[in-house]
Amino acid sequence: MLNTYFRVIVGTMVLLSVVLTYYVNQNWMWFTVFIGANLIQSAFTKWCLLETILVKLGIKKESEGCKI
């Protein structure tokens, strides 16, 4: 469930930043850059602030592997 929330939130933020860049100001592109840099950082460190926030809000992590 956590993975689903994470993907929806990040995807929404990226789309929102692209819309804001196009219609409001080009400086909103820096928000997209921040999101991308944060995703790259989390790939190396295995830590993501959004994941920490979602867990504290009570979103359950998926179980490892599949159950038969």
In the chain, domain spans: 2-56
In this prediction, residue 1 carries a pLDDT of: 83
In this prediction, residue 62 carries a pLDDT of: 75
In this prediction, residue 23 carries a pLDDT of: 97
Torsion angle, alpha carbons of 67, 57, 3, 40, to 10: -130
- Look at residue 19 and give its three-state secondary structure: helix
In this prediction, residue 61 carries a pLDDT of: 82
Q: How many CB atoms lie within 10 A of CB 10?
A: 16
Determine the Cα–Cα distance for residues 8 and 53; give it in Å rounded to an integer: 15
pLDDT by residue for the chain (68 residues), tens digit each? 888 899 999 999 999 999 999 999 999 999 999 999 999 999 999 998 989 899 999 988 876 555 55
